[in-house]
Amino acid sequence: MEVNKPVVLITGCSEGGIGYALCEEFAPHAEVVYATARRLEAMTTFKHDNIRTLEMDVCIPKSIEAAVREVIEKCGRLDIVVSNAGVGAFGPILDVSVDWARAAFDTNYFGSHRLAQAVLPHMFQRKSGKFILVGSIGGLVPVPWNGTYAASKAALHTLADVLRHECTPFNVQVMTLLPGFVKSHIIDNMHGFNVSPTSVYQPWNEALQKRFSASQTNPSCMPTKQFAKIVVKELLRKELKWFFYSGGYSTWMWFMTLWPRKWALQYFWRRNSK
């Protein structure tokens, strides 16, 4: 094995998603890639021999600790960690239960918080490492009907911004990866969406249905493999950017962050309420 090739760990690697594609793209450039997911049976079709699968539930601290411990015991280090595990939470704020919202935050925000506490001390000891948090363009400029998911990703972006500075004394780099529309199973995993017949938002049901599937049906949606190729090339650079945008509409959403915030929010209300 080549010493200069990185040891990589990625969360949320079920087949068909962003994490899975990142593992396959990283493999030729890595000493070993550790793919993790809640279920091992969701990761049985990797093509590269240096991809190892580990069970990890980012909502369970002991599960994270066990997986990280196994990597450190076998490899002695972790060079690149991508916190990718995430879940959707779609619907009007009033229709999303607090329990559902809490579950979304538990994975999308606290999952990365737990992972950071497990892996960063090892990187600090070596004064080296890259920690990448997968956010979302939805967390930059939130759109109607997707507020809970957007809020969880906005919280993650703040976590990344603070970690970036707190990791600097230890020579550990932190990047916020901001995917736009990218093919994945995030919609399938939510098992569809329908506005409750008793919801005050029933008149907007058609608009909600369009918005629910937009990230996967829009012609600008980027194939997962293409997205992974672009991202891995960026992550292998010596110096990471603080923020990296890729995927359908990602550049457009970045541009909208330069608008007065009221204009951007009003624009999305008009587009998503018809």
Convert the pLDDT of each residue in 215-264 to its tens digit.
667 777 899 999 999 999 999 999 999 999 999 878 777 777 777 778 77
Q: How many domains does the chain have?
A: 1
267 is catalytic: no
For CA atoms 192, 198, 204, 205, the dihedral sign is: positive
2 within a domain of the structure (yes/no): no
The average pLDDT across 36-64 equals 98
14 within a domain of the structure (yes/no): yes
The residues, ordered by sequence, that sit 6+ positions from 66 with a Cβ below 8 Å of its Cβ are 56
1 within a domain of the structure (yes/no): no
The average pLDDT across 182-194 equals 66
Q: Among 67-76, 106-115, 175-184, which is the least confidently predicted range?
A: 175-184
154 within a domain of the structure (yes/no): yes
Residue 88: which CATH number? 3.40.50.720
127 within a domain of the structure (yes/no): yes
pLDDT band at 1 (very low <50, low <70, confident <90, very high): very low
31 within a domain of the structure (yes/no): yes
Pairing of strands 172-179, 243-246: parallel
By residue range, what is the domain housing residue 18? 7-272
Catalytic residue among 20, 149, 245, 249: 149
Percent of the chain clearing pLDDT 70 (strictly above):
92
pLDDT band at 192 (very low <50, low <70, confident <90, very high): low
Between CA 272 and CA 265 the distance in angstroms is 11
For CA atoms 109, 112, 118, 124, the dihedral sign is: negative
Convert the pLDDT of each residue in 150-171 to its tens digit.
999 999 999 999 999 999 999 9
